[in-house]
Amino acid sequence: MELWYSENHSPDVRFSVKVDKQLYSAETEFQRIDVMTSEEFGTFLTLDGLMMVAEKDEFIYHEMIVHVPMAVNPEIKKVLVIGGGDGGTVNRLALYKTIESIDLVEIDSEVTEVCRRFFPKLTAGLDDPRVNIHFEDGLRFIRSCRNKYDLIIVDSTDPFGPGEGLFTREFYGNCSRALRDGGILVNQHESPYYDDYAESLMRTHRRIKGVFKVHRLYQAHIPTYPSGHWLFGFASDRFDPVADFDAERWNALGLETRYYNTELHKGCFALPNYVKELINNA
Ligand code: SAM
């Protein structure tokens, strides 16, 4: 008997992955957590029935959410990651010896516990001595932060359930106050293709644009995410992610990557016309 994991990417479009084994399933205070194994994507984690992280393609998302901002400002020392309890983002940040501290704020400690158990490679970076993990709501945590961080990465679930508050004007305003002069905010910025995701992309862009001088979207191709076309937001009051970027300096670090490279860094900000239209209409 074949077992398939399915999720809806639109009311009429379903994404399915053939499952070898279900390894874990639980309802936490915040969401439902499932872990399964598959031939195509390896072990994968879903939250509330949506794909979050898969062993075989996580490198795309985590390299793009970390290396783009780190290549723009190599002086980044203090980093805040909101969400990201699976450890993938922290794993890439830990590659940078120049970073002095990483605060990880994850609302659901069970996500991190489960990922330590089933994704040991992905969570290895969480044991880096520079990492401080806070199991609490990022929306609340950020309210007490002033001029503290050079980079904030919002690696959250989608804008409903526990993640909803991380897509609000209040949250982005608090992120701006939490950043030091020249700070950068990067967030997972949903997808432009299916209506519901495009709606949330436009809303998010409108809210961030109202807070930061520079707000530019960039893209990556992630097979396990809706439509495979995924966007990230880059916001700052000082840096332009393409103009203020020194490929040479980043390449000199000699970091191993499987997706990010410095030509792609420039290319990923070149968006299709229909996406530019969505943003302009926002
Ligand atoms: N890469 C995934 C994506 O793009 O959808 C996200 C990965 S990570 C698993 C998302 C994390 O955000 C989850 O572990 C979830 O518990 C956490 N999260 C959701 N809302 C949060 C909040 N308000 N504060 C802190 N963490 C939150």
Does residue 156 line the site of ligand 1, with CB under 6 A?
yes
Question: Considering only CA atoms, which of 157, 122, 124 is closest in space to residue 50?
Answer: 157
The residues of the chain that CATH labels 3.40.50.150 are: 58-281
* Cα 161 to ligand 1 centre (Å): 10
104 token code pair: 């990880």
pLDDT digits (tens, 9 = 90+) for 130-183: 999 999 999 999 999 999 999 999 999 888 888 888 999 999 999 999 999 999
Closest-CA residue, ligand 1 atom 27, reads: 83
3-54: CATH, from 3.40.50.2300, 2.30.140.10, 3.30.420.40, 1.10.1060.10: 2.30.140.10
Mutate to test the pocket of ligand 1, among 43, 154, 157 (most ligand atoms within 8 A of CB): 157
The residues of the chain that CATH labels 2.30.140.10 are: 3-54
C-alpha–C-alpha distance, residues 142 and 129, integer Å: 22
pLDDT digits (tens, 9 = 90+) for 217-243: 999 999 999 999 999 999 999 999 999
Tell me which residues are annotated as active site: 155
Does residue 54 line the site of ligand 1, with CB under 6 A?
no
C-alpha–C-alpha distance, residues 226 and 15, integer Å: 8
Mutate to test the pocket of ligand 1, among 51, 59, 63, 106 (most ligand atoms within 8 A of CB): 106
**This prediction's pTM:** 0.97
Q: Which fold has domain 58-281?
A: Rossmann fold (3.40.50)
36 token code pair: 């399964």
Does residue 111 line the site of ligand 1, with CB under 6 A?
yes
Q: How many C-beta atoms surround the C-beta of residue 34 within 10 A? A: 19
Does residue 53 line the site of ligand 1, with CB under 6 A?
yes
Closest ligand 1 atom to Cα of 51: 5
CA 256 to chain centre: 20
Using 70 as the pLDDT threshold, list the residues of the chain that sit under it: none
Strand 101-105: give its sheet, edge to edge: 131-134, 101-105, 78-83, 149-155, 179-188, 229-236, 214-221
C-alpha–C-alpha distance, residues 167 and 257, integer Å: 29
What local confidence, expressed as pLDDT, does residue 282 receive? 86
Does residue 159 line the site of ligand 1, with CB under 6 A?
no
Closest-CA residue, ligand 1 atom 14, reads: 85
The CA-based angle 194-27-159, given to 5 degrees, is 30
Does residue 86 line the site of ligand 1, with CB under 6 A?
yes
* Contact (Cβ atoms closer than 8 angstroms) between residue 232 and residue 65: yes
What local confidence, expressed as pLDDT, does residue 161 receive? 84
Closest ligand 1 atom to Cα of 155: 6
